[in-house]
Structure formats: structure tokens, C-alpha cells
């Protein structure tokens, strides 16, 4: 029984406003609860070893040779040193440099030495004001 002749029923509509409100609340919740991590990266260019580069800086009086073994022990110019802090390693580097201005630091690290022990040498050199640092490499001659 249709008592409303001539009047057509309206099509049902979906109201989008409440759905948009719910999505905005979810978006705000996600933004607030998300943690942002900042990764500090050290950008380095690894050296390439070749036969021409071997012995390039040997016999220069301005070199300081630092050796790090697998146990984390250090030698400076073939003299074993013991230190308790980076500052004492810095002092040992400054003593090895004596009055030489801006020495060239050559780090020879064992393949099994920890990264931290090498970074400690680099930090001590930075604290001493020495910015010329290089690493020795081993070449594999497949002859």
C-alpha cells in the first residue's frame, strides 16, 4: 500500500563525514605513536691497494706508525704502550710526534682487531689535532 502517490522515495546515501573523522583520528594516532630514528652515518671511501702505492710513505720522518693487534694492544713506532683513556693515547701520540708539525698517522690494524680499537686511535689523533690519517693495506698478488 502506497499512500504517498506521486512522491518518490529518496535514494539512501552514505554519509562520508563520520568516516573521514574516524580516519583522521587513526592518522593522528599513528603519527603520535610512531618513533622516528635518526641514524648517524660515517661516510668513508675505502682505499684501493695496488703495487704502485706500496711503500709510498715509508722512510718519511714525519710518519707515526700505530699498530693495533687482535687483542687491542697498541704500539706507536714499534714501542708498546698502555693507556687508560683516549686522552692518554692522545698524549702518547703527541709525545711520538715531538716537534714535528702535522705528522702523518699510519694505522696498521690486525684483521681481527675490533673496529672500536681503530676508532679509538682515530679519535686520539683527532684530539691531538692530527688530520692526516691513512691505513696500511695488504695486497693479494695472484701470480
| Angle between helix 86-97 and 115-128 (nearest 10) | 60
- Kindly report the CATH class assigned to 60-135: alpha beta
Average confidence (pLDDT) over 99-125: 87
pTM here? Answer: 0.55
Grid cell locating 52 = 704502485
Provide the pLDDT for residue 57.
46
Range 52-61 burial, b when 16+ CB lie within 10 A, else e: eeeeeeeeee
Using one digit for the tens of pLDDT, what is the confidence trace for 57-111? 455 668 888 988 888 888 888 888 887 788 889 899 888 888 777 888 999 888 8
Amino acid at each position: 500500500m502506497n499512500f504517498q502517490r506521486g512522491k518518490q522515495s529518496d535514494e539512501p546515501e552514505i554519509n562520508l563525514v563520520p568516516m573521514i573523522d574516524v580516519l583522521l583520528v587513526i592518522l593522528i594516532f599513528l603519527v603520535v605513536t610512531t618513533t622516528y630514528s635518526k641514524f648517524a652515518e660515517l661516510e668513508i671511501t675505502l682505499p684501493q691497494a695496488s703495487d704502485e702505492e706500496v711503500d709510498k710513505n715509508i722512510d718519511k720522518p714525519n710518519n707515526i706508525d700505530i699498530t693495533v693487534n687482535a687483542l687491542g694492544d697498541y704500539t706507536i713506532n714499534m714501542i708498546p704502550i698502555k693507556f687508560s683513556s683516549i686522552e692518554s693515547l692522545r698524549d702518547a701520540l703527541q709525545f711520538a710526534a715531538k716537534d714535528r708539525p702535522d705528522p702523518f698517522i699510519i694505522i696498521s690494524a690486525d684483521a681481527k682487531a675490533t673496529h672500536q680499537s681503530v676508532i679509538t686511535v682515530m679519535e686520539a689523533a683527532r684530539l691531538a689535532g692530527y688530520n692526516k690519517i691513512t691505513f696500511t693495506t695488504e695486497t693479494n698478488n695472484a701470480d
